[in-house]
Structure 1
Amino acid sequence: MVNCSFCERKAVYVNHLNGRAYCKLHFTSYFERRVRRTIRKHRMLGEKEHIVVGVSGGKDSMSLLHILRKLSRKNKNWRLTALLVDEGIKGYRENTIPALKIYAERNMVEYKIVSFKDYLGLTLDEIVSTGREKGLPYLPCSYCGVFRRYVLNKAARELGGTVLATAHNLDDIVQTYLMNVINNSWDKIARLKPVADKGGHEGFVPRIKPFYEVLEKESAIYALVNGLVEPGYHQCPYAEYNIRFTIRKILNDLEEKYPGTKYGLLRSLEKIISLIENAQKTPVKPFGTCKICGEPSSHPICKACMYRFELGLLSPEESLRVKSVVNEHPNLRKLLARF
């Protein structure tokens, strides 16, 4: 075992970039300092906020909730509410929900649990099954990502949140960056910023990513040394269907052999975002309003409503409205070709 570089205690983490080892106490200080610096650097929080924290009960989100709770205790003008979305994945989410409940009740943190079933009428398992029966070409993670963002925004707004904090860490960001490079989705790359403002739509709750510059490994260690989660790893059963699963493994192998790979990719992303923004002749188009549900959307029909239409989850009136909007927009007509 290696000793801490700052005291004689046993180290729980070694940073291979600076060569320093950290015991539990000094690692906690190091990690929290980096998160506070990220929040200040990107001006994520104002003097008065109702911070809604998107929590899954896993290591990253529990770490984020813990740090923001500590910060909010020092700022009396900040209110904190934890928000958990239960997607409805049998054998998975029920293993993580107890972590939030125990923590929230022990530390007197407000929390709310909502579900896909509440907002969409089906669990994710039922959505995936329905999609397969209908022959739809989407992977489980496609449904989950779209509907999770949809429900998080609606629920955070209903709670009166002024900002929605998510626990996306550096690993998540660079994985998404590479996925979008592979798909040639440069418009999506331009959105991979640490802060997403209202985009001109009052219905959108601004997003912040306080873990934007910290590694997944670090947030996991922080959760474990602070007793925020039980040892062990609960992986979503649908993860293996996603290209992210493969990219994650490749990046971890590269980081092991060439420390700093992930940080290099993040700096590359930041530079590319700057180049994209400077190259744009007009400002980024603000959010419009989905003509079906009224939620913020960059298209006439939001992705959630497109999926709900294809899955048969809309009312007859809403479905007719979808067809009318699609007929008005030629770029959407390929959707109707399947129905």
Structure 2
Amino acid sequence: MKKLSAKIIIIIIIVFGVSTIIPRIILTSMGDFPEQEFFSSPLFLVGMFVTAFLTLSLFGLAIKYVIIDRIRSLSLATKQIALGNFELNIKSKGNDELTSLTQDFNKMAQELRANEYLNKEFVRNFSHEFKTPISAIKGYAELISSGDLTDKEIVEYSKIIASESTRLTHLSKSLLQLSILDSTSIVKANEKFNMSEQIRSVIQMLQLMWEEKGLELNLDIQEIYTTTNKELTYQIWKNIIENAINYSQKNQKLDITVKQEEKQIIFEITNYGLGISLEDQKHIYELFYVVEKSRHQTSSGIGLAITKKIIDKLNGDIHIDSQENEYTTFKVSLPI
């Protein structure tokens, strides 16, 4: 039996008990009053009215305290939530279904408060990320249009405008992809291809980046064919490898391993740089979060957030192992 139902039954029993005691007290106080005359007397009608009134009043008060007041509190709180007031915490008492409902409501309000903060934080970060390249483009365009520059300065400033325009394009595409991932519950995973070849093509595409840093690549890549979403897995490898290159120290190693374990594809990449602190590791998959902002001012903090969402959509896992001033290893496992 439900706890709330049990309370109502107990209330009914108590009220019924009280309502039967009152007439007995009245009858006892009447003494030797003739039974026939008693039931036909006005006193009997008054007693019945008083008994019924007290019974209904007691039952109503008990139900009001146990159920109605608590439902009214939830109703008022719901209206406040609808108005955007998430700073609510209803006191829960007892141990029944309404208590559980109240506790769930408080959890909902807490989550809405957190989401409201995240939304505001997203808008702030979004505005900042777009404001920086737009301001640079506007500033250098105004300098060029002033006509007081040398040919060398015009070329230099034009390159900066082109670079910031490219950055703005990448930001827009990344946020669009993030939006698509959030709105898609199921992704297509029916393309058969050589994933090892795909990873090698990403490494080759990023060749200019790792050569510029003088990185020595140690590759251990097994040949693995799989059936999944080719476009999304390409995005995973591109984001993770590019991230590893960015955070590598110059003239260091970059270790990449790809292998099959049972029905899983295991991808590991290790770069040797400053590493990531335990505190930063808790936030690296958050949108716009950038480790070592002073060293990587061009990073938008979107890549790993997208990577994590893609891996989740493909029913995979991603783990990080890092020691500060030593190394950082990302391990991705995907179902084959």
Q: TM-score range by the shorter chain?
A: under 0.3
Whichever structure has more helix as a proportion of its residues is 2
> TM-score scaled by structure 1?
0.23
Choose 1 or 2 for highest CA Rg. Answer: 2
